[in-house]
Chains A and B, each alone.
Chain A
Amino acid sequence: MRITLNGTPRDTAAATLAEALAEARLTGRIATALNGRFVPAALRETTPLGDGDAIEALAPMQGG
């Protein structure tokens, strides 16, 4: 299955959003969105992935 993670296409065997994050070693304080919609941390393990899905995993950053 092919997904996009933070703008980069990648092949994955992950069945859920949580598995995709673990596979990419994205840990710590991050927030996720799937196909433009926010997915709370508590729902990542039960959020299934499909071919072509786009994940955003965002972290704290400097801002004005």
Chain B
Amino acid sequence: MPVFYGTEIDSPLMLGTAGYPSPRILADAFARSGAGIATVSLRREAGGGQDFWALVRSLGVALLPNTAGCHGAREAVTTAQMAREVFGTDWIKLEVIGHADTLQPDVFGLVEAARILAGDGFKVFPYCTEDLVVCERLLDAGCQVLMPWGAPIGSGLGLNNPHGLRALRAAFPDVALVVDAGIGLPSHAAAAMEMGFDAVLMNSAVARAGDPAAMAGAMADAIRAGRAAYLADPMERTDMAIPSTPVIGRAFL
């Protein structure tokens, strides 16, 4: 099971809390998913914040607050400081958004904010790209977890760059790696786990499914299968056929 900053989590599935049809369906989805971590955020108090706090506390999972919507390092650092106080955790999913259409991370602001926050005692989970150099800089800044995107947030496109994600896994064999964003189907999640990723973080794939709880269960099954497959050491791929039935002893007809 994944270990983040020395804490082992019971499940490789990390689940967001946004966009469910109702709080009841959110709770059902979490129960079916077996997720060990829930992502949450901070917004201007408009009456619902305290009820939501009670709901997430009742889920019995670790909370990972995010800095969603922040477009610069300074804004993200302030949001992280506020989240630490409200949620009582030094874990932070660090998002510094750089592009309005793709919600692609601003990796320059991300590294800057990660360095400040790590120096202030935060345990940073950076939402990043699969760029090896950026990831190296994030590790230098003090991150012990990397969370590259699979595809743009909420797109459901799956793993846009499987080669890059595989290269990242190979480059950092001892770092906790999470595919965050872009998952749409259980097969996407399974593929990430088959590559050796430690966990998968998703929200829309479950929340926007017709039956979120059933999809949460399907995701949990896929992630379990993907992890088991990785540990079973999959066969090498080849471009040409290799007969599986023995050639020796074949009849001459």
A binds B: yes
Bound together, the chains give a CA A33 to CA B83 distance in angstroms of 11
Q: Which of B6-63 contact A (CB under 8 A)?
A: 16-20, 39-46, 48-50, 52-53, 56
A3 CB to nearest B CB, Å = 15
* Other-chain contact of A57, B40, B44, B66, B75 (Cβ < 8 Å): B44
Contacts of B44 in A (CB 8 A): 6-7, 56-59
B59 CB to nearest A CB, Å = 12
Bound together, the chains give a CA A60 to CA B85 distance in angstroms of 11
Q: Select the residue from A30, A33, A36 with max chain B CB neighbours within 10 A.
A: A30
Contact A26 B45 (CB under 8 A): yes
Contact A40 B85 (CB under 8 A): yes
**B163 interface residue (CB < 8 Å to A):** no
Bound together, the chains give a CA A33 to CA B204 distance in angstroms of 30
Contact A33 B82 (CB under 8 A): yes
**B81 interface residue (CB < 8 Å to A):** yes
Contacts of A64 in B (CB 8 A): 16-19, 39, 41, 66, 68, 153-154, 203-204
**A31 interface residue (CB < 8 Å to B):** yes
**B86 interface residue (CB < 8 Å to A):** yes
Chain A: which residue is nearest B23 at the CB level? A62
Bound together, the chains give a CA A25 to CA B16 distance in angstroms of 29
Contact B42 A60 (CB under 8 A): yes
Contacts of A56 in B (CB 8 A): 44, 82
**Given known A-B contacts A36-B78, A38-B81, A62 and B50 have beta carbons under 8 A apart:** no
Contact A62 B45 (CB under 8 A): no
* Other-chain contact of A63, B40, B53, B74, B154 (Cβ < 8 Å): B40
Chain A: which residue is nearest B51 at the CB level? A60
Contact B82 A28 (CB under 8 A): no
**A1 interface residue (CB < 8 Å to B):** no
Contact B85 A41 (CB under 8 A): yes
**Given known A-B contacts A28-B49, A29-B50, A38 and B78 have beta carbons under 8 A apart:** yes
Residues of B that sit less than 8 Å from A by CB? 16-20, 39-46, 48-50, 52-53, 56, 65-66, 68, 74-75, 78, 81-83, 85-87, 153-154, 203-204
Listed from nearest, the 4 A-B pairs whose CB atoms lie closest are A59-B49, A63-B41, A64-B16, A64-B203
List 13 A–B pairs whose Cβ atoms lie within 8 Å, in order of A's numbering: A28-B50, A29-B86, A30-B45, A31-B82, A31-B86, A40-B85, A62-B16, A62-B41, A63-B16, A63-B39, A64-B16, A64-B19, A64-B154
